[in-house]
Structure 1
């Protein structure tokens, strides 16, 4: 399955870094969801810190940021603490969210995909971006939010 512009956010339940249940449908504001391969790797750390450093810009645009990988809740908790990440990290060990969002593997299928989705307040997809270049995801998501006046 692949999400297309205008599609509703999938109703997938995952655990956050504290082990608490989380559902995307619980948020009533715009959401930027970024899927990344692995905690503590150079590209993923750069991406997470980029979202951290721009977090107030996302909040000013009325959006929440959420990161998802297949890492454990414990790994997410350590990653979040070490890099002072102000947003949720969700654990997707069974790849339920990756399948529901249609995130494809990168690099000949060897690495989990790196893809960012931007949903408006009504939970409809307004933008998606797929690139192994971790640094571009923050800029692309901010631009999508700025350009969409129907958040």
Structure 2
């Protein structure tokens, strides 16, 4: 099982789209957070999921939340994916699946990296977890959970 509601998220640092080091410690205590783990840049489901977060990005900002996407793709791949789809949020490169393992995100039944979304409150505690191989629904559930914070 992955992290559960009420668990504190682990601290981590990963390279972002531009190769800079992003540290979660810079956000905890300041903003609510949405982290979505996805299998692969440019696949149809992952593109749809990322674009749904893009299309509602202003709604997340209005709720005081940062949005972060994480996959095992390289920073270079993320840069292309982000530019192609005009993604306004941070994508992090977890090439060794270090953070995926910290969050205990399991592979799905097809052995692809799992698709899991977390809403985290300002204190760094998990407020919502949604695990579904289906890309639709992740954004809506995350936005709904933010309304309760």
Same fold (TM over 0.5): yes
Contact 2:2 2:106 in 1 (8 A): no
Contact 1:25 1:123 in 2 (8 A): no
Q: CA deviation at 1:4?
A: 1.8
Q: CA deviation at 1:147?
A: 2.0
**Structure 1 residue runs of 4 or more that deviate by more than 6 Å after TM superposition:** none
Contact 1:9 1:25 in 2 (8 A): no
What is the CA–CA distance in structure 2 between the aligned matches of 1:35 and 1:21, rounded to whole Å?
Answer: 18
Per-residue CA deviation, residues 27-57 of structure 1 (Å, 9 max, x unaligned), is: 1200000000000000000000000000000
2:127 is aligned with 1:126: yes
C-alpha root-mean-square deviation of aligned residues, in Å?
Answer: 1.0
Q: CA deviation at 1:24?
A: 1.0
Q: What does 1:1-151 correspond to in 2, within 5 Å?
A: 2-27=2-27, 28-108=30-110, 110-148=111-149
For normalisation by structure 1, the TM-score amounts to: 0.94
What is the CA–CA distance in structure 2 between the aligned matches of 1:81 and 1:43, rounded to whole Å?
Answer: 17
For normalisation by structure 2, the TM-score amounts to: 0.95
* Number of positions where the alignment pairs a residue of Structure 1 with one of Structure 2: 147
What is the CA–CA distance in structure 2 between the aligned matches of 1:92 and 1:18, rounded to whole Å?
Answer: 14
Unaligned residue ranges in structure 1 (runs of 5+): none
Unaligned residue ranges in structure 2 (runs of 5+): none
What is the CA–CA distance in structure 1 between the aligned matches of 2:14 and 2:89, rounded to whole Å?
Answer: 15
